[in-house]
Amino acid sequence: MTNVLEVKDLVVNYGKVEALKGLSLTVGAAETVSLLGNNGAGKSTTVGTISGVVRAGSGSVTAFGKDVTNAKPWDLVEMGIIHVPEGRRIFSRLTVHENLQIGGYTVTDGKAIDTRIKEVYELLPRLAERRNQQGGTLSGGEQQMLAIGRAMIAAPRLLMLDEPSMGLAPLMVAQVMDVVRSITEQGTAVLLIEQNARAALKVASRGYVLDSGTVTIEGSADELRADPRVVEAYLGA
């Protein structure tokens, strides 16, 4: 099985602060991999670097066998690597439908966009109900669904979700994770950045725990769930 994403010895500096100190991880095809870690561990920096928003100091990022260490965000989107940024970042003054349409900005086939929007509405009927509402009037959970739905319009091959559970009630976290699960079932690889280890390890098959810019623990979701360090730090024994 070839890996969708390979990150090798990635180092990122913000001025003198070393955010990542040689981080390596892989995401396989149609696999959901979870990236756990505390605030400041370097989770968002990792996705930022992969998606081309943050410049890598050294190390390499390979996606679908191509070196994309210094690729620009728009090139990566064309390649099917879609980043759902932290804090949802939906367009709050545009309608739900327009928000979904922008997801297909790089798709030139208008029919494909329409079919995918329809698919998203089927997966997330609540969005269909609110298609003409402004994004900003949705609840937090709906906004997160919209952000994920918007990313799906581009037909991603690798979807990177940065803390989709942030600020959501536990029930909604579970629903967001259900959506993530159904996305994986469609064959999309997912890199799931989370603080909520319990929820994340339920959908992920493998996971990495990040601490101060390096991977400290890695393993299958079951191993991580049973690891006493993870239990103590994230699951609350």
The reply on whether position 13 binds other proteins by CB under 8 A is: no
| Strands of 206-211's sheet in order across | 81-84, 158-162, 189-194, 32-37, 206-211, 214-220
- Return the residues of window 167-206 that contact other proteins according to CB under 8 A: 169-172, 174-176, 178-179, 182, 198
d(CA 218, CA 27): 12
Residue 59 CB, nearest approach to other proteins (Å): 22
Residue 6 CB, nearest approach to other proteins (Å): 21
Residue 142 CB, nearest approach to other proteins (Å): 5
- CA torsion sign for 148, 150, 154, 160 is negative
The reply on whether position 3 binds other proteins by CB under 8 A is: no
Residue 146 CB, nearest approach to other proteins (Å): 10
The reply on whether position 166 binds other proteins by CB under 8 A is: no
Contact assessment for residue 135 and residue 90, using Cβ atoms and an 8 Å cutoff: yes
Binding mask 85-114 for other proteins (x = CB under 8 A): x---xxxxxxx-xx--xxx-xx-------x
Q: For residue 202, which phi and psi values (nearest 5 degrees)?
A: -75, -30
The reply on whether position 123 binds other proteins by CB under 8 A is: yes
The reply on whether position 69 binds other proteins by CB under 8 A is: no
Residue 133 CB, nearest approach to other proteins (Å): 6
Binding site for other proteins (CB under 8 A): 51, 53, 72-74, 76-78, 82-85, 89-95, 97-98, 101-103, 105-106, 114, 117-118, 121-134, 137-139, 141-142, 144-145, 150, 154, 169-172, 174-176, 178-179, 182, 198, 225-226, 231, 235-237
